[in-house]
């Protein structure tokens, strides 16, 4: 609360002429209520006179000055003892004694409100109290006569009253450090409190405005105002000390078709000019080799870079630099990188250099039973397709680092040196034949079930991989072994009523002495996973060297056999696979 009134009877202009050379800021209030009223053209009641005024700061509710007008005196002044801001007020009355205007001048640029105590012209007791009266236009006029609607946002202007600073702080100590930061800058503080994870205190005995404290102290330590909660002498601040880099040109794990690409991104730097980004370095690695380049900065908000990728998987790490307090260019300690708004540690890009493959798979399964139910069933499936090949050089680098790495990797399903996926249509054929005893249940065996068909399927999924073979229990060998895994199956449509290629299956009816026909969908299944080391690569060293630098065509032929015996029947499955990789 203001205290110590200084009253004077000279006119306002003379009072201002003795003010500091910095000039004064003016506000005018002409919207003063009148207690007189008219009925039937007659004026009833009396006009009230403003005799006491309190001048306040709207954002904090602080009363910064008090004035009163003795009889016959229309001007008054007050100097705030805390921040030393000088205030003057002039009361303007008409011939009837009605107060028609109040003119306020100050050495500070606040836009104040007034609380008025009004008396009847000849009375000694207050008859009307007015609270929160705003100045005309809710602006303050500068010494040069220009209207200022947002003086609190100008760090160069003097602003009266205490400044209430509030800081979002998950912990009490964080708020204490903010207060100590302000005090270290030379400001006096008071009335500190911590409530609902907000630490607040007042800055008093200064004509520095909130905006100046923000510019000179808070923003330099990465405290930035929450705009919706900051106005006048009152501010709410949050710590935003993390630089944001957003890659706008690419998504993470995107496949690109050209080796040379242009990377574009944006910079969101909460510190702005107080802590500018001086450089963004991009480190590109494929797991074995790496290189770096510097991005081109455009202003403070965007960057671009022309990068040349490795064949296969690329990991791009973005490193922003700035100048430390000693003027040395160093990495930012706190920053985050996103790719099209999704957080990443590194931007992963797959450069598909166009490696293709052809594969031909033949699987023959023969199941036989002995007496008394002699039978033989032969099922032959053939699958051929063109594949898109993706080399995973980073996995090879990890595997080759140590035997422990290789063992750990082999325990996961994705420990691959390369993978292949069908690039469209898959050609399949199936041949099925069962032989049993004849209709008299006697030998020799005769064919009783038969089927044969082929198709080109556009909804068939075929995937292969050169997979590190898991170590078996008790295997102390340090050598690495690889095998080919295969997964082939139709898409879900085969299980629905959707159209699907089919063929005829025939079964001999001994009673009617004829073949009965039915339709069956052509949908061969094949599954050899990481634990099925049936199709082995002949040389691990040869495979690894090829994957490390695939510059020419390469072909492998695999054969393998799986045999099971359940005591009733014996099943032998034979595989023959030819795989050719083509640049």
What CATH number corresponds to the domain at position 314? 2.60.40.10
157 falls within a domain = no
pLDDT for residue 476: 55
Tell me the three state secondary structure of residue 12.
Answer: helix
Helices (H), 166-315: 172-184, 210-213
Does residue 155 belong to any structural domain of this protein? no
pLDDT at 71: 85
- Relative to beta strand 48-56, strand 63-68 is antiparallel
Rg (CA), the chain: 43
Q: Are 356 and 387 in contact, with CB atoms under 8 Å apart?
A: yes
Same domain, 234 and 377: no
- Of the three residues 150, 185, 200, the one that is the final residue of a domain is 150
503 belongs to a structural domain: yes
**How far apart are the C-alpha atoms of 83 and 207, rounded to whole Å?**
6
Is 496 within a domain? yes
Q: Which residue has tokens 């139709």? A: 490
Are residues 72 and 117 part of one domain? yes
The tokens for 353 are 């250099």
Same domain for 370 and 519, yes or no, is yes
List b or e across 448-462, with b for residues whose CB sees 16 or more CB atoms inside 10 angstroms. bebbebebebeebeb
What is the Cα 60 distance to its own chain's centre?
36
Shared domain check, 207 and 75: no
Q: Do 102 and 32 touch, CB atoms closer than 8 A?
A: yes
Based on the fold, state whether residues 228 and 286 are members of the same structural domain: no
Long-range CB pairs of 125-131 (<8 Å, 24+ gap) are 126/51, 126/52, 127/35, 127/48, 128/33, 128/35, 128/48, 130/32, 130/33
Is residue 393 located within the same domain as residue 512?
yes
Asked if residue 94 belongs to a domain, the reply is: yes
CA distances 368 to 52, 378, 534, 564, Å, are 114, 9, 22, 11
Residue 302 lies inside a defined structural domain of this protein: yes
First-to-final CA distance of the chain: 85
Q: Based on the fold, state whether residues 419 and 500 are members of the same structural domain.
A: yes
The pLDDT score that the predictor gives to residue 274 is 76
Query: Residue 310: is it exposed, middle or buried by C-beta count within 10 angstroms (0-12/13-18/19+)?
Result: buried
Q: Among positive and negative, which fits the CA dihedral 23, 29, 30, 35?
A: negative
Looking at the DSSP assignment, which residues form a beta bridge with residue 279?
321
Q: Is 229 a domain residue?
A: yes
**How confident is the model at residue 11, as a pLDDT?**
29
Q: What is the pLDDT along the chain (583 residues), one digit of tens a residue?
A: 333 322 222 222 223 333 333 589 999 999 988 766 555 655 556 677 899 999 999 999 999 999 999 888 999 999 999 999 999 999 999 887 788 999 999 999 999 999 999 887 766 667 789 999 999 999 999 999 999 999 999 999 999 999 999 999 999 999 999 999 999 999 999 999 999 999 999 999 999 999 999 999 998 888 999 999 999 999 999 998 899 999 999 999 999 878 889 999 999 998 877 789 999 999 999 988 899 999 999 988 999 999 999 878 999 999 999 998 789 999 998 999 999 999 999 999 998 767 889 999 999 999 999 888 899 999 999 999 999 988 887 789 899 999 999 999 999 988 999 999 998 899 999 999 999 999 988 889 999 999 999 999 988 999 999 999 998 765 656 689 999 999 999 876 555 666 789 999 999 999 999 999 999 999 899 999 999 999 999 999 999 999 887 878 999 999 999 999 998 999 999 999 999 998 7
Residue 98 in domain: yes
Decide: helix, strand or coil at residue 170: coil
Give the SS3 label for residue 126.
strand
- Among 291, 319, 351, which residue terminates a domain? 351
Same domain for 219 and 269, yes or no, is no
Same domain, 326 and 447: no
From the CB of residue 111, how many other CB atoms can be counted at a distance below 10 Å? 21
Three-state DSSP at 145 gives coil
Question: Of the residues 321, 351, 381, which one is the last residue of a structural domain?
Answer: 351
Within 99-209, residue ranges assigned H as helices are 172-184
Asked if 97 and 112 sit in the same domain, the reply is: yes
**295 plus 422 within the same structural domain:** no
The pLDDT of residue 268: 92
Phi first, then psi: give them for residue 546, nearest 5 degrees: -70, -45
DSSP β-bridge partners for residue 201: 165
- Tell me the whole-structure pTM to 2 decimals: 0.52
Give, in degrees to the nearest 5, the angle at Cα 256 between 252 and 261: 95
Both 572 and 539 in one domain: the answer is: yes
- Mark out the alpha helices in 201-264 (DSSP H runs): 210-213
**What confidence score (pLDDT) does residue 20 get?**
34
Give the pLDDT of residue 302: 96
Under 8 Å between Cβ of 542 and 555? no
**Domain boundaries, position 568:** 356-472+479-582
How many structural domains comprise the chain? 4
């Amino acid at each position: 609360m203001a205290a110590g009134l200084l009253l004077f009877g000279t006119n306002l202009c003379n009072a201002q002429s003795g003010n500091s050379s910095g000039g004064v800021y003016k506000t005018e209030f002409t919207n003063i209520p009148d207690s007189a009223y008219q009925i039937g053209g007659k004026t009833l009641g009396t006009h009230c006179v403003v005799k006491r005024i309190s001048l306040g700061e709207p954002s904090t509710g602080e009363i910064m000055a008090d004035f009163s007008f003795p009889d016959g005196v229309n001007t008054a002044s007050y100097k705030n003892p805390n921040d030393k801001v000088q205030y003057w007020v002039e009361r303007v009355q008409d011939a009837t004694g009605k107060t028609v205007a109040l003119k306020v001048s100050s050495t500070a640029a606040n836009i104040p409100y007034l609380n008025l105590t009004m008396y009847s012209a000849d009375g000694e007791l207050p008859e009307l109290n007015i609270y929160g009266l705003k100045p005309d236009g809710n602006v303050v006029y500068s010494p040069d006569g220009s209207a200022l609607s947002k003086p609190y946002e100008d760090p160069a202007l003097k602003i009266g009253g205490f400044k209430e600073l509030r800081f979002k702080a998950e912990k009490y100590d964080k708020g204490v450090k903010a207060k100590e930061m302000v005090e270290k800058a030379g400001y006096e503080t008071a009335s500190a409190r911590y409530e609902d994870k907000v630490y607040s205190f007042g800055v008093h005995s200064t004509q520095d405005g909130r905006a100046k404290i923000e510019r000179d102290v808070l923003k330099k330590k990465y405290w930035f105002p929450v705009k919706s909660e900051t106005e006048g002498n009152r501010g709410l601040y949050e710590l935003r000390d993390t630089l944001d880099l957003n890659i706008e040109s690419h998504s993470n794990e995107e496949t690109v078709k050209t080796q040379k690409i242009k990377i574009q991104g944006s910079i969101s730097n909460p510190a702005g000019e107080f802590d500018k980004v001086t450089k963004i370095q991009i480190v590109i690695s494929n797991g074995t080799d790496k290189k770096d380049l510097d991005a081109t900065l455009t202003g403070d908000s965007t960057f671009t870079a022309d990068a040349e990728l490795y064949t296969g998987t690329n990991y791009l790490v973005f490193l922003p630099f700035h100048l430390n307090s000693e003027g040395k260019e160093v990495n930012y300690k706190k920053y985050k990188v996103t790719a099209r708004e999704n957080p990443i540690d590194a931007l992963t890009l797959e450069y598909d250099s166009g490696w293709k493959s052809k594969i031909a798979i033949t699987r023959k399964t023969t199941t036989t039973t002995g007496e008394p139910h002699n039978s033989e069933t032969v099922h032959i499936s053939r699958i051929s397709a063109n594949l898109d090949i993706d080399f995973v050089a980073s996995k090879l680098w990890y595997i080759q680092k140590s035997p422990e790495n290789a063992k750990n990797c082999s325990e996961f399903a994705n420990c691959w040196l390369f993978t292949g996926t069908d690039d469209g249509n898959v050609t399949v054929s199936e041949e099925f034949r069962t032989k049993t005893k004849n209709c008299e249940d006697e030998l020799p065996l005769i064919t009783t079930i038969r089927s044969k068909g082929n198709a080109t399927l556009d909804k068939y999924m075929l995937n292969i991989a050169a997979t590190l073979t898991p170590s078996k229990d008790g295997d102390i060998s340090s050598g690495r072994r690889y095998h080919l895994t295969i997964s082939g199956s139709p898409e879900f449509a085969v299980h629905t009523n959707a159209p699907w290629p089919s063929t005829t299956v025939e079964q001999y009816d001994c009673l009617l002495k004829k073949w009965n026909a039915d339709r069956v969908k052509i949908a061969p299944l094949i599954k050899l996973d990481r634990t099925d080391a049936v199709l082995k690569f002949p040389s691990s060293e040869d495979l690894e060297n090829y994957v490390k630098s695939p510059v020419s065509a390469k072909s492998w032929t695999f054969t393998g056999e799986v045999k099971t015996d359940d005591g009733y029947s014996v099943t032998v499955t034979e595989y023959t696979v030819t795989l050719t990789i083509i640049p």
